[in-house]
Amino acid sequence: MEIERQNHRVVVTGIGTIASQGTGIDSFWEALLAGKSGIDTVQSFDITDYPSKVGSEVRDFEAGDFMDPKEARRNDRYTHFAVAASKLALQDGGLDCSTPDPERFGVLVGSGIGGMNTIQEQSFRLFEKGPRKVSPFMIPSLIANIASGVVAIETGARGPNYGIVSACATGTHTIGESFRLLRDGEADVMLAGGSEAAITELGYAGFCSMKAMSTQYNDAPQTASRPFDAGRDGFVMGEGAGVLLLETLEHAQARGARIYCEISGYAASCDAFHITSPDPEGKALSTAIRKVIKEAGLEVEDVDYINAHGTSTPYNDKFETNAIKIALGEHAHKIMVSSTKSMTGHLLGAAGGIESAVCAKTIHEGKVAPTINYNDPDPDCDLDYVPNTMREAEVKVAICNNSGFGGQNATILFKGFEA
């Protein structure tokens, strides 16, 4: 089939989220606006010997509610989340899987780590019981592209489908690349986002050894993630998934879909600086921000809100603030910036998926979720971080930033839809 190359407009018509605050976008969004943290003491394993004891766990989740229980047992928890969020996005968007041409219905749902639970469990089996006890489903369960494959099997989507792995920028890259596929006419419908389930003994041991996670607030878990606050001491790991249903405007209008907002720009860049530390000057991230504004045909003064990467680590928050100021100049002090990681924790490869969902809801609802636990301003972080309380405001243009180990940055620009 010959592909028609043209610039199609791309819109967000459905949102699916799995997070510690609840299943589905409605409960998740209400919790964010209320400033409700999903962070608590980790309960899924014995945390006694770990320096960091807090996490943002998804509880009361049953994979069998979203897929055949037998198939669920053959897949990792991160895939369970991906399937659930994808089906919730379709449900929210009112799209029956039989509606789109399956050849033009694609899936890009990535993961920064993939099947961490599977890696850990099967390693125990190998060393405790020998190689014959390793599951034949181990490899397909752990690889980071399998979520997109399983979502396609569950939905019948036979269009573009692959895995993107860029650490904590994964979810944003998947949405951005899906935007390009739709814009260029290679698909009509895409499910795009990220999924992660790395709250395990092995995952915690690795991040604790890096001294990347918060350790000072174990006795007050809901205060542990405090982006841009002077008392921040590390990120809090979260788990879950965020998936957007994206369509070309023509496809969405033909079926009378509700439209949350439009995607008008996407950029990817690399710091080329250090494998884990962001560039102090923020050159590559600031370039990405400027690129999405230009691609959208806008000026920096048009930006109203940024959902920041805002990890609550000493370096990231300071350097990201600097990058925003470089990109927007004086206008940086006139916009709203918030980090919803203060409530969700850091969902790693799923961060961009769930934070893009926040941007879409922000534009559609005219409400900005706060950065909670912002009590002691850091002189190096001097923007309007929407501290502690939700704010009602008209947001016509929102930007989502995410950065990952390896120096990889991804930025998406969302704007209010106008026919």
* CA 319 – CA 313 distance, rounded (Å): 10
What tokens does 250 get? 């023509």
Q: Which of 80, 251, 346, 364 is catalytic?
A: 346
**Within 10 Å of residue 139's Cβ, how many Cβ atoms?**
13
CA atoms of 292 and 402, how far apart (whole Å): 13
Residue pair 54/42 in contact (Cβ under 8 Å)? The answer is: yes
Positive or negative, the CA dihedral 80, 85, 86, 88 is positive
Was domain 265-407+411-415 assigned CATH 3.30.70.100? no
- In terms of Cα–Cα distance, which of 60, 83, 74, 232 is closest to 147? 83
Q: Are 249 and 385 in contact (CB under 8 A)?
A: no
Give the pLDDT confidence score for residue 1 in this predicted structure: 44
Check if 173 is active-site.
no
pLDDT (0 to 100) of residue 36: 98
Can you say how many angstroms the Cα of residue 4 is from the centroid of all Cα atoms in its chain? 30
Q: Nearest to residue 338, comparing CAs of 378, 265, 390?
A: 390
261 in active site? no
Domain residue ranges in the chain: 10-254, 265-407+411-415
- The pLDDT assigned to 419 comes to 83
324 closest CA partner among 385, 264, 370, 238:
385
Q: How much is the pLDDT for 399? A: 98
Fold of 10-254: Peroxisomal Thiolase; Chain A, domain 1 (3.40.47)
Q: 80, 309, 364, 381: which is the annotated catalytic residue?
A: 309
Topology agreement, domain 10-254 and domain 265-407+411-415? yes
Q: For residues 298 and 290, give the distance between their C-alpha atoms in angstroms, rounded to a whole number.
A: 10
Please give the pLDDT value at position 5.
Answer: 58
Q: Using an 8 Å Cβ cutoff, are 403 and 352 in contact? A: no
Kindly tell me the burial class for residue 336, based on how many C-beta atoms sit within 10 Å of its own C-beta (0-12, 13-18, 19 or more): buried
How buried is residue 339: exposed, middle or buried, by Cβ count under 10 Å (0-12/13-18/19+)? buried
Closest alpha carbon to 415 in 305, 301, 289: 305
The pLDDT of residue 120 is: 96
Q: Which residues in the chain come in under a pLDDT of 70? A: 1-5
The CB density around residue 253, as the number of other CB atoms within 10 Å, is 14
Strand 305-307 relative to strand 336-338: parallel, antiparallel, unpaired? parallel
Residue 122 to residue 120: CA distance in whole angstroms: 6
In sequence order, the β-bridge partners of residue 387 are: 371
Note the pLDDT tens digit of each residue in 235-275: 999 999 999 999 999 999 999 999 999 999 999 999 999 99
**Span 387-406, pLDDT tens digits:** 999 999 999 999 999 999 99
Determine the Cα–Cα distance for residues 42 and 205; give it in Å rounded to an integer.
13
Closest residue by Cα to residue 178 from 128, 261, 245, 78:
245
Q: Is 331 a catalytic residue?
A: no
